[in-house]
Structure 1
Amino acid sequence: MSEPTPEASAGPQESTAQDLSAAEASKSLLQQMEELLATVTANLAGLGADLQASSTRVTGTADDERDPGAHR
């Protein structure tokens, strides 16, 4: 005959407490991921704005500087 496993011997109150702890841990992880996503989104928006600002400053001579042998 098999012996009862620790999970089987746990009372209903203990398993409910474990379920709540797991739910709290998952919620905490979800909150952390949402905050991380918001930070990354803000950083990407800032980089996009920087890129657009730098592209508006580029003049027509930038092509000549990148490939000086193109007009020879």
Structure 2
Amino acid sequence: MSEPWTEPPTPGTPTGGAPVTTKSLLEQMQELLASINTDLAGLDSELRDTAPRDEPDDSARD
């Protein structure tokens, strides 16, 4: 026997949980960029902490 067919919920319709709040595309993009900037800052910090330090080469001064 097959189960009865049901339509999936459409975006923006409540599914019985908290009320759905829609955000404009601009707000979504601003949040995404803020998240990316935070991630990149963390990666930059990690790379700076683990990068080998350049020490002056005494033989290059001759």
Q: Which TM-score applies when normalising by structure 1? A: 0.45
1:18 aligns with 2:31: yes
The count of aligned residue pairs is: 37
AA matched with 1:35: R
Structure number with the bigger relative contact order (C-alpha 8 A, sep ≥ 6) is 2
Structure 1: 5+ residue runs without aligned partners? 43-72
| CA RMSD of superposed structures (Å) | 1.8
* Deviation per residue, 1:43-72 (Å, 9 max, x gap): xxxxxxxxxxxxxxxxxxxxxxxxxxxxxx
**Over 6 Å off, 4+ runs:** none
- Aligned position for 1:31: 44
Structure 2: 5+ residue runs without aligned partners? 1-12, 54-62
Larger CA Rg, structure 1 vs 2: 1
Q: Matched residues, percent identical? A: 11
Q: Which TM-score applies when normalising by structure 2? A: 0.51
